[in-house]
Copies of this chain bind each other. A is one copy, B any other.
Amino acid sequence: MYKIGVDAMGGDYAPKEQILGAMMAIKNIPDIEINLYGDKDIIAQYLTDSTRITVIDAKYAIPMGEKNPIQAIKTHKDSSMVVALNSLRTDESDAVVSSGATQALIAGAHILVKRMKGFKRTAIAPLLPRVSGGHTILLDSGANLSIKPEHMLQQAYFAKIYAQKMLNIEDPKVGLINIGTEDGKGREFDQEVFKLFKETDLFSFYGNVEPKVVLDPPCDILISDGFTANIVMKSVEGAAKGMGQLLKKHLTNSLSGKIGALFASKSLKEFKKELSAEEIGGAIIFGLYKPVIKAQGASKAYGFYNGIRQAANVCREKVFETVKEYLDTQKDFEDE
């Protein structure tokens, strides 16, 4: 049994959707137990089936728009997020899932969960859908706005192991997000990273990749600094949302469009599902001692369930254990 810690109070629709998602996960994933961290009186209103679910009382919910995440984490020891993260240290949980405020979760993970030995900068890595099927790992999606090239090397390496274990890709290719495909493109920083990646034996480096192929890149991992990759993720999200609205507008503009939409409704629903953040599930934080999954803030039950499923998969596939073993054998990654 893998013990998944769930922050029940974080998220735009918390705690209702988080609790429904947890019950859905218990129903569908036989080898997990869930620790549900949150206000037990409120949880009691929504928890209709407590099979393999333990409720741990944690009254405070860190607000979604928390302006001072570090202070929030340090002040609110009784918050569902802090108590959930602390459960990793005590081995009460094997992994934690939260759809709470991203920056607070990152700050909390840094303060309360140890880094993996030798790992310098954690990274957040969501999965992007691919037109040709499967997923692309995108990182760092917001943990480190500025970073050194050698830290990005470690992150890319972690992503490689993740891709091997979780996405079953034997030799994952790493692509550097850039404004052109030629060698030497981009800022000074990108040029340094390019040089370092070109020389490394730690993973296969594809080269520079432009975001105009972001949904079908010639590589399995797309990497940049935490500002740039976050901008890519949010631009894709914005374009997808905007296109969905435009499509709807055009289809409802004419009678034949309406009839067509009726016939095609199943296909259009599948299309929407494939692109929804709900379906993609959570982003994983690389480089911590144990897995922390950030589910989308706007997660409904199904999206949150997918985050729990991802956490269970990471445990089952022993992703973190494998990275630890690799790191131990790599003198490049020794602690400073």
Contacts and interface: CB of A to CB of B under 8 A. Distances in A.
Given A254-B267, A264-B256, A239 B235 contact: yes
Contacts of A237: 211-212
Contacts of A212: 234-235, 237-238, 241
Contacts of A249: 131
Interface in A87-130: 103, 129
Given A215-B242, A239-B239, A250-B268, 17 more contacts: A65-B182, A142-B179, A145-B187, A179-B230, A179-B231, A179-B234, A186-B227, A210-B238, A211-B238, A212-B237, A214-B239, A215-B245, A235-B235, A239-B240, A240-B243, A260-B262, A260-B264
A236 to B, nearest CB: 4
A256 B263 contact: yes
A145 B186 contact: yes
A249 B145 CA distance: 36
Interface stretch (A50-58, A156-164, A270-278, A328-336): A270-278
Closest 4 CB pairs between A and B?
Answer: A260-B264, A215-B242, A260-B263, A235-B235
Contact of A263 (B179, B216, B242, B263): B263
A212 to B, nearest CB: 4
A67 interface: yes
Nearest to A260: B264
Contacts of A167: none
A253 interface: yes
A228 interface: yes
Interface in A247-294: 247, 249-251, 253-254, 256-257, 259-268, 270-271, 274-275
A71 interface: no
A323 interface: no
Nearest to A277: B212
A60 to B, nearest CB: 21
Nearest to A133: B249
Interface of A: 65, 67, 103, 129, 131, 142, 145-146, 177, 179-180, 182, 186-187, 210-216, 227-228, 230-232, 234-243, 245-247, 249-251, 253-254, 256-257, 259-268, 270-271, 274-275
B246 A131 contact: yes
A236 B234 contact: no
Contacts of A256: 263-264, 266-267
A267 B275 contact: no
A129 B245 CA distance: 12
A282 B267 CA distance: 34
Given A253-B267, A263-B259, A246 B275 contact: yes
A308 to B, nearest CB: 24
A241 B228 contact: no
Nearest to A236: B239
26 contacts: A131-B242, A131-B249, A145-B179, A179-B231, A211-B231, A211-B238, A212-B241, A215-B238, A216-B245, A227-B228, A231-B235, A232-B235, A235-B239, A239-B240, A239-B243, A240-B243, A243-B275, A246-B271, A246-B274, A247-B247, A250-B271, A254-B267, A257-B264, A260-B263, A260-B264, A261-B264
